[in-house]
Amino acid sequence: MVQETIEPSKKVKAVGNWWLKVQEASKEHQSLDDAREFNESWQALTAEPGEVDYVETIAGGVPAMWAIPKKANTEKVLLCFHGGGFFSGSMYTHRKLFAHFAKNIGCRALILNYRRSPEFSHPAQVNDALSAYEWLINEGGINPKDIAFTGDSAGGNLAITTMLLARDRGITLPAASMPFCAYFDMEVSGASMISNLGKDLLFTKEWVIQITQMFLGEKGDPKDIYANPLYADLSGLPPIYIQVGGDELLLDDNIKLIELAKKAGVDASIDIFPRMQHTWHMAVGRAPEANDAIARYVAWIKPKLGL
């Protein structure tokens, strides 16, 4: 856990200011399409990594994009799930972010464009994620031990729930998972929902509740383990490393998941970055705090993938 208190750089402050604009603009949107179109501009936060090719594909029936760095080890794959509250975001908004991961790790990244709510409620998203994982193994010929998962926010949820669904269906699990700033608690009950109110420039508790309702749909169960892994038995999962900002409303979601994983005997760890906003990683290539966070992930995952 990061102990020191740091003053965020101007560029990482810009991420927080951007999220504030997102929240303010969302109140003015008259349609879901407007909100999604605005959110596509998230990609402007991330610097282009360079020396990466992007190729769109279909992974187990799910639209996806390969990010292929020059000289990457093509036998190692990072399966990536974008954030956006399950209702927005795309493989395009997160293309550059996950390409930075892949380039620094030295592998390919497969960025999934899973179905979004409210048109498709849970479990469409986790089913898409599992379909893509099985496609990598069965049609791509990739050994599960050469695959790692990652994802931010809602994508961080999928980086855990997809493993649960795979485990419960008898599918070999990946080498490791790296969620960040993840969204797990479908009951929206964490203490940080109150203690970090006002510090988090993107979320309010009411907004998280609305996003959750869209995701679960009318008949969804907030205790369904494939939506809310805080109710799951996490035993048998591979190593998990989470990063989360100290000022996030979702802070407790991430702390609780790691505590639960440790109790189940999983090799699990968390870094809490003081004063960081939700998914500050989006500023990679521009802000030192984002570069540092991703460098920590790279150092952690490379030996687990044999790189």
Each residue of 268-296: pLDDT tens digit? 999 999 999 999 999 999 999 999 999 99
The average confidence (pLDDT) of the chain is: 92
pLDDT score, position 21: 57
Q: Is 4 a member of any domain?
A: no
What is the predicted pLDDT for the residue at 119?
Answer: 95
Domain assignment present for 100: yes
Predicted pLDDT of residue 299: 98
Q: What is residue 62's DSSP assignment? A: E
Residue 79 lies inside a defined structural domain of this protein: yes
pLDDT score for 306: 97
d(CA 112, CA 298): 20
Q: What is the domain extent for residue 43? A: 10-305
- For position 214, what pLDDT does the model report? 96
Give me the mean pLDDT over the 43-56 stretch: 95
Element (H, E) at 101: helix 95-105
**Whole-number pLDDT of residue 32:** 78
Q: How many domains does the chain have?
A: 1
Secondary structure (3-state) at 195: helix
**pLDDT tens digits, one per residue of 203-253:** 999 999 999 999 999 989 999 999 999 999 999 999 999 999 999 999 999
* Average pLDDT score over residue span 65-72: 97
Answer whether residue 269 is part of any domain: yes
pLDDT at 2 over 50: no
In a domain, 2, yes or no: no
Nearest to 192 by CA among 240, 246, 235: 246
Closest CA to 291 of 306, 276, 303, 269: 276
Domain assignment present for 3: no
288 part of a folded domain: yes
Assess if residue 5 is contained within a domain. no
User: For residue 173, what is the domain's CATH number?
Assistant: 3.40.50.1820
Distance CA 203, CA 45 (A): 18
Query: For 162-204, what is each residue's pLDDT tens digit?
Result: 999 999 999 999 999 999 999 999 999 999 999 999 999 989 9
C-beta of residue 182 within 8 angstroms of C-beta of residue 250: yes
Cβ neighbours of residue 245 closer than 8 Å, sequence gap 6 or more? 181, 251, 272, 273, 275, 276, 277, 278, 280
